[in-house]
Chain A
Amino acid sequence: MGLKILTEHINVPGIETLEVYRKHGGYRSVEKALKTMSPEEVVEEVKTSGLRGRGGAGFPTGMKWSFLAKPEGVPRYLVCNADESEPGTFKDRWFMQYNPHALIEGMITSSYALGANTSYIYIRGELMFVLRILEKAIAEAYAAGLLGKNILGSGYDLDLHVAPGGGAYICGEETALLESLEGKRGNPRNKPPFPAVKGLFASPTVVNNVETISSVPWIVNNGGAEYAKIGVGRSTGTKLISASGNINNPGVYEIELGVPVEEFIYSDQYLGGIWKGRELKAVVPGGSSVPILPKNLILKTAAGEDRLMTYESLSDGGFATGSMLGSGAFIVFDEEQCIVRNTWNYARFYHHESCGQCSPCREGTGWMEKVLHRIEYGHGHQQDIDLLVSVAKQIEGNTICPLGDAAAWPVAAAIRHFREEFEWHIKHPKEATAPGAVYRGKLDAVTA
């Protein structure tokens, strides 16, 4: 099933304890980095590895690290984004719950590379039970001299704290997260200044996802060049995929980037096919904000090539015929699912989660939710479809943070690929609102 970088030992009984974690090679990267490498050398290895941000944006981690400003006498911070809230995504929660020391090891090694002496893990407030697990593991690490003053006699000091959020999707956006960490409402900040210059407490700050940080120890232990050999092209390494929806084997899978989508869906070692013997209708491959693709376009690109689980292959064709790897939240729809209802559900989500700072997002998400609601419940007008497209366009690119785009894309994509289904709802409200009613036209209809 391919190389396991993050999850090799996750099923070992007791791996959540320091003792068992160390017995399986845990904290080796801390010894190696702090005792034999300079911070710059660690950054160099991460650059060489080609590791890209695993929260959704896919930005090269080494490059992000190299942007960090280093003014004399000003503290620098590493903040771990554990505010996993993108619908469909649950890999970070699962990973921290079962292997907390792996994240802590990554935090120590990464903080050393960045010259941070205080670091924070900002975790969504709903995951208080995971916060307790992390705090227990952190206490063990302090007791073993892996945190605190003069770690392992290296002269390097690090304090690590966990901070809970309060229930707000927007706090996964890095500047909103920093606001929240400072005890404020999660309103995203205008950029510039970027967090790398002025982040937490107005100091230079790097914000990285849980999975990104947890990948650093392997890179330090084995070298960035070894990591870069895994995967395909610019999609190096392994990725945790959260698989949900109408499949036989939902759960988290660590895959080497490059597995064919068809194999991933139908092979028994992965999702095991569509549940209840049904047909595949569509997939949202990277979390609720990325475009939905109908069966034909998720299995093959528009050019007829096999679609692969990589950043490049999933986005092949742009938004006309492609999507995004995003956070790796792979949401599968069977033939019994209604695309209109799902699109309304997502629109309600984004309306609920808009922070309200920017009018296009605050008002636009509300409009989309209302219009979709009336289509779903049999009161739609023919012009509503174009109205939705128009509202989505007016939100996209016109907001401080990407939540606006995240709200607009799923609506635009659903209409792009399933327009007939929307039209059917509007033309045949009685049939469409009957219990269990689903449009049974062409499942692979493409209106690009």
Chain B
Amino acid sequence: MAETINEVKFSDAAMAEIQRYISHYPVGRQKSALLPILHIAQAEFGGWVSPEVMDKIAEILNIQPIEVYEVATFYTMFNLKPVGKHVLEVCRTGPCCLRGADELINTLKRKLNIEEGETTADGMFTLKPVECLASCGTGPMLQVRELYYENLDSEERVDEFLEMMRQKEHETPTWAK
């Protein structure tokens, strides 16, 4: 019985960026480009990496698929399931908590009507608490894709932020411009 498998295809801009990373490493050490490529793949394919995408990366790097899976599952930035349009990666670590991170997470849960790790019904937001993002002086804060949103220390600031994000399209990564 014939089975249809969706062909995973990186854009030309993404392939050029992948080749640029591979060129940074000595011949035979092309696997070193794996983490950068996972980031590129995530930006390219809707914010997460599917098994098919990982298999494609293995093919590009000429390594075993397991070598991609074991890395993608180790690092927290790689989403292994579909996510909303905007993944709100909220810092939940001590220094941000001293400035209201718990309140920020609770406010987001209440306003979006989701729990940690969940996506809103309209597919707009995923709430993903993360550990320290090296922005402790401007906490509480969160990250969406490549940008930081800081000092989210009041209900008004959170409302403003969510409203802005609802209107916002993804930033185009530098390499795709």
Interface, chain A (partner B; CB < 8 A): 75, 84-90, 92-94, 118, 120, 124-129, 132, 135, 159, 161, 163-169, 180-186, 201, 242-246, 250-252, 288, 329, 331-333, 337, 341-342, 345-346, 349, 352-353, 355
A350 nearest CB across to chain B (Å): 10
B131 engages A163 (CB within 8 Å): no
A168 engages B76 (CB within 8 Å): yes
Given A90-B137, A166-B76, A180-B35, A337:B98 Cβ within 8 A: yes
Interface, chain B (partner A; CB < 8 A): 21, 24, 26, 29, 31-36, 38-39, 61, 67, 70-71, 74-78, 89, 92-95, 97-99, 130-139, 143, 146-148, 174
Chain B interface mostly helix, strand, loop or mixed? Answer: mixed
B77 engages A126 (CB within 8 Å): yes
- A85, closest chain B residue (CB): B132
- A333, closest chain B residue (CB): B98
A288 to B98, CA, bound (A): 13
- A343, closest chain B residue (CB): B94
A135 to B173, CA, bound (A): 13
A94 to B148, CA, bound (A): 12
A88 to B136, CA, bound (A): 6
- B132, closest chain A residue (CB): A87
A331 engages B94 (CB within 8 Å): yes
CB-contact partner of B32 in A85, A128, A163, A245, under 8 A: A163
Given A88-B95, A128-B146, A342-B94, A164:B137 Cβ within 8 A: no
A124 engages B134 (CB within 8 Å): yes
A86 to B139, CA, bound (A): 15
List 8 contacting pairs A-B, 8 Å CB cutoff, sorted by A.
Answer: A125-B35, A163-B35, A186-B74, A244-B99, A246-B99, A252-B137, A341-B97, A355-B74
B133 engages A126 (CB within 8 Å): yes
A87 engages B70 (CB within 8 Å): no
A166 engages B137 (CB within 8 Å): no
A381 to B34, CA, bound (A): 47
A90 engages B71 (CB within 8 Å): no
Given A163-B35, A250-B137, A288-B94, A245:B74 Cβ within 8 A: no
Listed residue (B33, B77, B131, B132) with the most chain A CB atoms within 10 angstroms of its CB: B132
- A75, closest chain B residue (CB): B26
A166 engages B32 (CB within 8 Å): no
B31 engages A182 (CB within 8 Å): yes
**Cβ contacts under 8 Å, B35 to chain A:** 125, 163-166, 180, 183
- B101, closest chain A residue (CB): A345
A353 to B131, CA, bound (A): 9
Q: What 9 additional pairs, Cβ within 8 angstroms, besides A88-B94, A201-B26, A252-B137?
A: A87-B136, A126-B77, A128-B39, A135-B174, A166-B78, A183-B31, A183-B67, A243-B137, A244-B95
Listed residue (A88, A118, A243, A329) with the most chain B CB atoms within 10 angstroms of its CB: A88
A245 engages B95 (CB within 8 Å): yes
Chain A interface mostly helix, strand, loop or mixed? Answer: mixed
A446 to B139, CA, bound (A): 30
CB-contact partner of B135 in A90, A332, A333, under 8 A: A90
A87 engages B93 (CB within 8 Å): yes
**Cβ contacts under 8 Å, A92 to chain B:** 134
Listed residue (B78, B97, B131, B135) with the most chain A CB atoms within 10 angstroms of its CB: B131
**Cβ contacts under 8 Å, B67 to chain A:** 183-184
A185 engages B134 (CB within 8 Å): no
**Cβ contacts under 8 Å, A345 to chain B:** 92-94, 97
B143 engages A250 (CB within 8 Å): no
A84 engages B98 (CB within 8 Å): no
**10 A-B pairs with the lowest CB-CB distances in the bound complex, closest first:** A166-B75, A183-B34, A167-B77, A244-B136, A250-B137, A167-B76, A183-B31, A161-B24, A87-B132, A185-B74
**Cβ contacts under 8 Å, B139 to chain A:** 244
Listed residue (A168, A183, A185, A333) with the most chain B CB atoms within 10 angstroms of its CB: A183
A26 nearest CB across to chain B (Å): 24
**Cβ contacts under 8 Å, B75 to chain A:** 125, 165-168, 186
B57 nearest CB across to chain A (Å): 10
B33 engages A93 (CB within 8 Å): no
A102 nearest CB across to chain B (Å): 18
B148 engages A90 (CB within 8 Å): no
A168 to B76, CA, bound (A): 7
A169 nearest CB across to chain B (Å): 7
A363 nearest CB across to chain B (Å): 18
Listed residue (A90, A201, A342) with the most chain B CB atoms within 10 angstroms of its CB: A90
A180 to B89, CA, bound (A): 22
A1 nearest CB across to chain B (Å): 17
A20 nearest CB across to chain B (Å): 21
A333 to B99, CA, bound (A): 10
A88 to B134, CA, bound (A): 7
A349 to B95, CA, bound (A): 12
- B29, closest chain A residue (CB): A201
- B171, closest chain A residue (CB): A129
A182 engages B36 (CB within 8 Å): no
- B136, closest chain A residue (CB): A244
A164 engages B74 (CB within 8 Å): no
- B91, closest chain A residue (CB): A87
**Cβ contacts under 8 Å, A164 to chain B:** 35-36, 39
B63 nearest CB across to chain A (Å): 8
**Cβ contacts under 8 Å, B29 to chain A:** 182, 201
Given A163-B35, A245-B95, A246-B98, A168:B132 Cβ within 8 A: no
- B77, closest chain A residue (CB): A167
- A82, closest chain B residue (CB): B134
CB-contact partner of A126 in B34, B78, B92, B134, under 8 A: B134
Given A186-B74, A245-B95, A349-B93, A166:B39 Cβ within 8 A: yes
